[in-house]
Amino acid sequence: MMATETGSVVFNPFDPKFRANPYPTYKRLLEEAPVFQSPLGVVLSRHRDCESVLRNHRKWSSDLRNATDSGFEPNLDLFDLDRPFLFLDPPDHTRLRSLVSRAFTPRVVEELRARVQVIVDDLLNAVSEQGIMEVIDDFAHPLPVIVISEMLGVPSQSHSQFREWSAELAKSLDPELAAQPEAVERQRRAIALFDDLFKELIAERRDKPKGDLLSALVQAEEEGDKLTEGELLSTCRLILIAGHETTVNLIGNGVLQLLRHPDELQKLRDDPSLAGSAVEEILRYDPPVQLTGRIALEDMEFDGVAVPKGHGVTCLIGAANRDPERFPDPETFDITRGDDRHLSFGFGIHFCIGAPLARVEGQVALATFVRRLKSPELLTKSPKYKNFVLRGLESLSVEFGGMRPAGQR
């Protein structure tokens, strides 16, 4: 894709400046070209336009096999078979989603809060003497990996292996990284390695079911008409990857924003009951998933810009979350805002199934971080981002002057 110009707005997702900080470009798109014709299809920035696309799944498909415009999805051939349900429409989407949704209801997830607290405290205890922590590697990454692996039933010895495979698959979402030579080959290999791991675990569960989500899915597969073995594998892969790549970024982006806004950090330290609202504001202000796409199932248009059947639209979540029509004073980071109508978990039938879990992990991680670390200071001044679509930091070093013990204020 090339840089595209409409009037004075330049939208180029390959520009390093844009990748480091996309928000000034979003602001200009909202002001000057909220419906923007790019070589990859129409790009939408307004909250109401993005919401209406995501709401209207009968007109807007998540299944890229409906795309006639080949520019939209570089790695289409990766997904010949058994696409994860994120990329499917009803009725297959409905059937597969319903098999896992029970594991992620707010009530079930709330019961995990105490376990999340133990993991968070253990991770902080492990670095408490060091005076410096690497927030991504020591904290933001291990937490969601441990939580989702325990839910699904993946043993901890596999964690370091699938970190690499998962990062490889996350790259397929970023047009620049996906265009690298051999990217498709590396991604195919990552899928094969995931599937080998899960095939082994599935065989174990068939022999001896446990109380985990994998056992429940294996049982559904054995009952016959609910899901095939291919769908079982694609669902496991989806949950394992979606369950951690994004949550790492919520915690990493959250620590960064709190350290950049010391008054907001102090508010959270003084009043831990603000954790829920702080997490919503981090999600709004610096969302871990910056965009999502849909394919028109019939001829559509926005503000007179046509989207023919089979063409794609991109919904810029990061821009919609700062739409002044929807959020007063959108450029201000305010953890007391108390507004959860951002689009960071999507909207409609594909609304993130893991949202309750991500919220609990984010709340416990960030509230505990600000409570326990004394005088945290940011050492990484110009953080680098791994990926444009999944906005996550490569690394983030923080210095601190000691740590309060777990469970004390």
Q: Name the site residues for ligand HEM (rule: CB under 6 A).
A: 85-86, 97, 148, 238-239, 242-243, 246-247, 250, 288-289, 292, 344-346, 350, 352-354, 357-358
Distance in angstroms (rounded) separating the CA atoms of residues 338 and 321 = 14
Instruction: Compute the least distance from the CB of residue 402 to ligand HEM, in Å.
Output: 29
Nearer to ligand HEM, 97 or 269 (CB): 97
Q: In angstroms, what is the minimal distance from the CB of 8 to ligand HEM?
A: 30
| Closer to ligand HEM by Cβ: residue 29 or 289 | 289
DSSP 347-405: -GGG--TTHHHHHHHHHHHHHHHHHHBSS-EE--SS--BS-TTBT-BS--EEE-S-BPP
In the complex with ligand HEM, the residue whose CB is nearer, 89 or 403, is 89
Question: CB-wise, 103 or 218, nearer to ligand HEM?
Answer: 103
Inter-helix orientation angle 159-171/142-152, to 10°: 100
Shortest separation between residue 350's beta carbon and ligand HEM, angstroms: 3
Helices marked H in 223-354: 229-260, 262-270, 275-285, 317-320
CB of 386 to ligand HEM, least distance (A): 15
∠ CA 402-405-409 to the nearest 5 degrees? 100
Instruction: Measure CA 73 to chain center.
Output: 19
> Residues 283-315, buried b or exposed e (16+ Cβ, 10 A)?
bbbbbbbbbbbbbbbeebebeeeebeebbbbbb
Q: How far is the CB of 406 from ligand HEM (least distance, A)?
A: 23
Residue facing ligand HEM at closest CB distance: 354
Q: Which is nearer to ligand HEM, 116 or 265 (CB)?
A: 116
Measured CA to CA, the distance from residue 244 to residue 147 in angstroms comes to: 9
Q: Per DSSP, which regions of 135-207 are E strands?
A: none
Of 405, 363, 301, 387, give the one whose Cα is nearest residue 147. 363
Place of tokens 């998962």: 166
For the bound state, the minimum distance from the C-beta of residue 360 to ligand HEM, rounded and expressed in Å, comes to 9
Nearer to ligand HEM by C-beta: 202 or 236? 236
CB 202, min distance to ligand HEM, A: 18
Helix (H, G, I), strand (E, B) or coil at 22: coil
Question: How near is the Cβ of 68 to ligand HEM at its closest, in Å?
Answer: 20
* Nearer to ligand HEM (CB atom), residue 243 or residue 330: 243
Nearest to 193, CA basis, from 222, 229, 221, 169? 169
Nearer to ligand HEM, 29 or 145 (CB): 145
- Closest CB to ligand HEM among residues 386, 403: 386
Nearest distance from C-beta of residue 20 to ligand HEM, angstroms: 20
- Cβ partners under 8 Å of residue 373, min gap 6: 124, 398, 400, 403, 404
Q: Which two tokens stand for residue 386?
A: 């791994």
Smallest gap, in angstroms, from Cβ of residue 146 to ligand HEM?
A: 12
Pair 160, 197: CB distance under 8 Å: no
- Contact indicator for 99, 238 with CB cutoff of 8 Å: no
